[in-house]
Amino acid sequence: MPQMDELYDELVNLCYECVLDESTWNPMLDRLAAATGHQMGALLFLDQRQRRPQVTSIHSCDPASVEAYNGYYHQYDPAKEVLVPRPVGSWYHDREDLGPRRIRRDPYYQEFHLPFGMNSISCIKLHEQADSGVYLSLLTAVGASLPERHERDLLNRLSPHLLRAARMSNRLQALELDVARRDLLLERHSTPVWLLNVEGRVVFCNHQAELRLCRRQFPLQERQGRLYAGSLDVRLQALLRQALGRDGNRRAGWLPLEAEPPSQLLVTPVPEDQALAARHPGPLVLLALLEHQPRNPFMAELFQFTPAERRLAELLVQGLAPEACAARLTVSINTVRTQLRALFRKTGTERQAELLSLLARLQDL
């Protein structure tokens, strides 16, 4: 059926538009309801701990019915007892799962559904976490025909795309929240930082970095979106290439700057699975200007120290030899040596003295 295929394609496109534009959910619900023999639609959020479903702002129902449901009738909804235990992707159809006889006698239908002009309901679990779930409900109006076979078939055919779009939306929202938190952290951090993309262009710098660039004698300059280091620029560009992995191996490095107070510029790759990398394609490099005593947690995160590696680093700074560290940590000397090699690799150092010099600058918080 060419018309049905065109309708299917249109609805699939709308599903994935919802991922990038949340405002598309309402028109998608309207179109989905009409195409599958329904007159209303809604997204519901369920608090798993309280078993309390709530209609979200994304719906095409009578606002008075939404207010009544969220305020009172949600506690009597028989659907949650049937649908909540089922896996993601399961459809609930009240006429099949409850049966016409129970529907006729259930106060939920007699006191809420029918007075607000709602007849049958179909609901699918789109997404589930440990403490919450997201559901999509489609309803028929009183007096309207029930969905026909081809409309039910279309709904089942669209189900995988609805589920995928919901997963992608949830993941994207989580990433956006992580990026917003990280941007706020970097913006407020006392360490001047710059974030560069694969082309070497500045895509972010915090307030402290902007203040440094305004100083007349500051060794770094920004021109046309790129950072330059004057007489040290050849070395800076080599460190950027090293951090971007253009030789196949991404590594951190240091650039001593002739500034007052004496400082060093850390040039380090940003791991691709970090939230900072979510907004920008390709490898990213973070530059941090280290003056006086940098903050340990911030730097440990940049270097991606594991908890065990961080504990070893703290003991090394206290002056303990690797053998004494092993005894203090109750691990073998081979484990300590493995962790020590990881510290060398992650900090871009090669010798223990060089590593200790770096860690000493990170120790005092």
CA atoms within 13 A on the CB side of 103: 15
pTM: 0.50
Residues 68 and 155 in one domain: yes
Beta strands in 193-331 (DSSP E): 193-196, 202-205, 221-223, 226-228, 253-257, 263-270, 284-291
CATH, residue 66:
3.30.450.80
Residues 21 and 144 in one domain: yes
Residues 216 and 277 in one domain: yes
Number of independent structural domains in the chain: 3
Give the lowest-confidence range in 33-42, 85-94, 98-107, 266-275.
Answer: 266-275
CATH, residue 273:
3.30.450.20
Residues 220 and 365 in one domain: no
Q: Give the residue from 260, 292, 324 where a domain finishes.
A: 292
Q: Which residue has tokens 């060093």?
A: 264
Burial group, residue 7, by CB count within 10 angstroms (0-12, 13-18, 19+): middle
- Separation between Cα atoms, residue 338 and residue 69, nearest integer Å: 59
Q: What is the pLDDT of residues 322-364, one digit of tens each?
A: 998 888 888 899 999 999 998 888 877 888 888 887 776 655 4
Q: What is the pLDDT of residues 64-110, one digit of tens each?
A: 999 999 989 998 999 888 888 889 898 999 999 999 899 989 999 99
Q: Give the residue from 292, 319, 352 where a domain finishes.
A: 292
Domain containing 313 equals: 303-365
For residue 278, what pLDDT is reported? Answer: 54
Residues 310 and 270 in one domain: no
Q: Which structure tokens are listed for 216?
A: 């007349």
Q: What is the pLDDT of residues 135-144, one digit of tens each?
A: 999 999 999 9
In a domain, 66, yes or no: yes
CATH, residue 331:
1.10.10.10
